């Protein structure tokens, strides 16, 4: 028995070293693009001309970041992205939690249909609906507005789904007690459920922010003037404009500005990101 166990352990020890090598190689491949973008954003135009493919700047400079925000565009795109993200997060936290709570805790006619709608929305391929979504937006007069950019994301099915799953774990007795006390359903939602729903609402906030901040095709379609561009659309436009001059430093600085907020959030709130993804897997 003991010799067998020792043999097992010895056999297992070799793979552990192999595992770390495998993980380190994968980590390097994952990190490399991040290294390139940060290092490239710190290189001057002259530096690029001298050796376009160099991995590191000869003399690091912040001039690209200065140039990025000295023009009018990027400040506007940043403000637009923040407005759209704020609308999206507010919509999902408020309306998403109301809908999710209702689906989990209230008894009503048409509940199956409502939940079916959540699933359909969850699985609907965006590429199959963006043309008619644009027609709807035109008819609502929302083309070239930030509300138009945010509208399809205001109550994401995944938000409803996350809150529904969470609400199902809240004991009915808590809500019944409030009902017996004569509280209205809104009071029960507001004063009994919401204070308990912190973790679910945190996940919803993160998922909504991510969906909004990283959204690309829809703002590309709806925002047709640079005054309503969000950061990704503005960045893609900057890149297309800069392609002729190959001013990579400027474009890469823009890339850093666009990706940084999410990566910083991710660094601190990894747990909630992971829960959000796990929720999509629960379907």
Partner 1 sequence: MAVTALLGPGASRTRRPRAGSRHSVVAWAFLAPFAVLFLLYTAIPIVLSLVTSFTDMRGTDLRNPFGVDVVGLENYVTILTDGRFLRSILNTLVFVVIGVPLTMGIGFALALALDSGIRRFRTVFRGLFYAPVVTNIVSVALIWQYAFNQNGTVNEVLGWLGFAGPNWLGDVGLAMPVVILLGVWRNFGTAMLLFLAGLQAIPDDVREAASIDGGGRWRQLRSITLPLLMPSTLLVSVLLSVFYLQVFDEPYLLTNGGPLGSTESIALYTYDQFGFGNFGVSSAASYVLLILVVVVSVVQFRLLRSRT
Least distance to partner 1, CB of residue 80, Å:
14
Angle at 90 between CA 87 and CA 94, to 5 degrees: 140
When the beta carbons of 59 and 127 are compared against partner 1, the nearer one is 127
When the beta carbons of 170 and 210 are compared against partner 1, the nearer one is 210
When the beta carbons of 195 and 281 are compared against partner 1, the nearer one is 281
Angle at 129 between CA 126 and CA 135, to 5 degrees: 135
When the beta carbons of 70 and 270 are compared against partner 1, the nearer one is 270
Burial class (CB in 10 A: 0-12, 13-18, 19+), 121: middle
With beta carbons less than 8 A apart as the criterion, state whether 175 and 188 touch.
yes
Least distance to partner 1, CB of residue 178, Å:
11
What is the distance between the alpha carbons of residues 277 and 23, in angstroms, rounded to a whole number?
22
Least distance to partner 1, CB of residue 179, Å:
7
Segment 78-81 long-range contacts (CB within 8 Å, at least 24 positions apart): 78/231, 78/257, 80/146, 80/149, 80/223, 80/228, 80/229, 80/230, 80/231, 81/212, 81/213, 81/230, 81/231, 81/232
Least distance to partner 1, CB of residue 98, Å:
4
Least distance to partner 1, CB of residue 189, Å:
7
When the beta carbons of 227 and 270 are compared against partner 1, the nearer one is 270
When the beta carbons of 61 and 179 are compared against partner 1, the nearer one is 179
Least distance to partner 1, CB of residue 19, Å:
5
73: its two tokens: 């565009």
């Amino acid at each position: 028995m003991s010799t067998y166990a020792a043999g097992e352990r010895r056999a297992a020890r070799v793979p552990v070293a192999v595992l770390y090598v495998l993980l380190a190689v994968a980590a390097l491949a994952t990190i490399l693009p991040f290294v390139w973008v940060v290092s490239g954003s710190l290189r001057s135009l002259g530096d690029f001309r001298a050796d376009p493919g160099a991995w590191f700047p000869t003399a690091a400079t912040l001039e690209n970041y200065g140039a990025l925000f000295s023009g009018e565009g990027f400040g506007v795109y940043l403000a637009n992205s923040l407005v759209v993200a704020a609308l999206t997060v507010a919509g999902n936290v408020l309306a998403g939690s109301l809908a999710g709570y209702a689906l989990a805790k209230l008894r009503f006619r048409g509940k199956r249909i409502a939940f079916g709608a959540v699933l359909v929305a969850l699985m609907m391929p965006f590429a199959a609906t963006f043309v008619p979504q644009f027609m709807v937006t035109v008819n609502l007069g929302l083309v070239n507005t930030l509300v138009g950019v945010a509208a399809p994301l205001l109550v994401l099915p995944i938000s409803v789904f996350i809150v529904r799953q969470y609400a199902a774990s809240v004991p009915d007795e808590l809500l019944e007690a409030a009902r017996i006390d004569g509280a209205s359903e809104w009071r029960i939602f507001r004063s009994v459920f919401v204070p308990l729903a912190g973790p679910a609402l945190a996940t919803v906030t993160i998922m909504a922010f991510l969906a909004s901040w990283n959204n690309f095709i829809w703002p590309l379609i709806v925002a047709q003037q640079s005054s309503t561009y969000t950061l990704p659309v503005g960045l893609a436009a900057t890149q297309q404009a800069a392609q002729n001059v190959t001013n990579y430093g400027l474009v890469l600085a823009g890339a850093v500005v666009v990706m940084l907020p999410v990566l910083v959030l991710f660094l601190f709130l990894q747990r909630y990101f992971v829960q959000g993804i796990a929720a999509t897997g629960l379907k």
